[in-house]
Structure 1
Amino acid sequence: MGEEKEIITRFSEYLNWLREIEKIDESKWSEPIAKGKWSVSEIIGHIMYWDRYLITEVLSSIRQGNEITFPEFDSFNHQASFYVRSGGSQAALIKEAIEARGSLVKGLYELPTATLKKQVTVNGVADCPHTGNPYTLLYIVEEFIEHDHHHQKQVERSITRHDSSFS
């Protein structure tokens, strides 16, 4: 398996985690994970919103050879939180999140290796300001893997504080 397929496979592992989260008690679903933090549902919705953005905007830009533009993070994240708080069941949100990630993974697998590894500009910048690495779609996917892991650990810590049976 090439590096690009390995990265996309790691990105798809979030789907397995979502299936585990389906099992948590619904009473924990809407509680903030800590004081001043999002709930589990808001975290799932947040990641789902980014997955949908990657599908509709980023993959489209990549396919057309255009620059990638990310929205202002705080207002975008607020929209995701509002969407989740406006209703819908735990099962429905999990289903939406699984569909979004599944569709995104499929779209990534369909791209040629050269497209995945081609340097791109993100919001007018060619290199990540934190690492100095050139932006590529694969690099961005790796950043989102780290983002997923950050939020997964938050959720798991919150759940295990309340329920020692979660693994």
Structure 2
Amino acid sequence: MYPTNNLINDFEGFNSYVSSLKKIDETLFFEPIADGKWSIAEIISHISFWDRYIREETLPQMKSNAVIETIDFETLNGQAEKYALSGVSQLHLLQQKLEERSLLATDLRKKDEDEFFEKFILNGEEIDKYSGYPHTIFNYIAGFQWHDNHHRQQIDVFLKGKEV
């Protein structure tokens, strides 16, 4: 089995990748990665907004048999997108992302092993429709780790096409 501590370390380890994006030219950072897609800036803002939302709103509710309703993902994504395009700098977006993930990882480390596997209901579902597993903190964070990797691949394909 994948130990909880490894999950947290790997989840926080995404920050190494985020730090590597500091060297990208700011024009490229704000350029959409494809027609109709977000820029790297919007992707980073999106992940940062979700990290903060999880830490402040969702994680505190994740207890055995809890019934949790989360924000509509399009609402939060829209807020993140708007923020990324508000004139905020590349460095600020990246620093904010690094801080949010570190804070979330710190809060996760405060949980004991049993808390990671307590089942709860999320948005009316006992079983996550994407993974097929019960909703637990462990499975939730693993899902967001997959989400990080999905966006990392998108960014890497874009940057490779730009020969950066």
**Count of matched residue pairs:** 164
5+ residue gaps, structure 2, are none
Partner of 2:95: 95
Cα deviation, residue 8, structure 1: 0.9
Cα deviation, residue 2, structure 1: 6.8
Identity %: 32
Cα deviation, residue 64, structure 1: 9.2
Q: Deviations over 1:46-82 (max 9, x none)?
A: 0000000001011221269743322111122111100
Partner of 2:119: 119
2:35 aligned with 1:35 = yes
Moved over 6 A (4+): none
Q: 122-131 or 53-62, which moves further after superposition?
A: 122-131
Distance 1:30 1:2, change over 3 A: closer
Partner of 2:8: 8
Provide the TM-score with structure 1 as the length reference: 0.92
Cα deviation, residue 161, structure 1: 0.8
RMSD of aligned Cα (Å): 1.7
Partner of 1:79: 79
Provide the TM-score with structure 2 as the length reference: 0.94
Q: 84-93 or 37-46, which moves further after superposition?
A: 84-93
Cα deviation, residue 146, structure 1: 0.5
- Between the aligned partners of 2:153 and 2:46, the Cα distance in structure 1 is 15
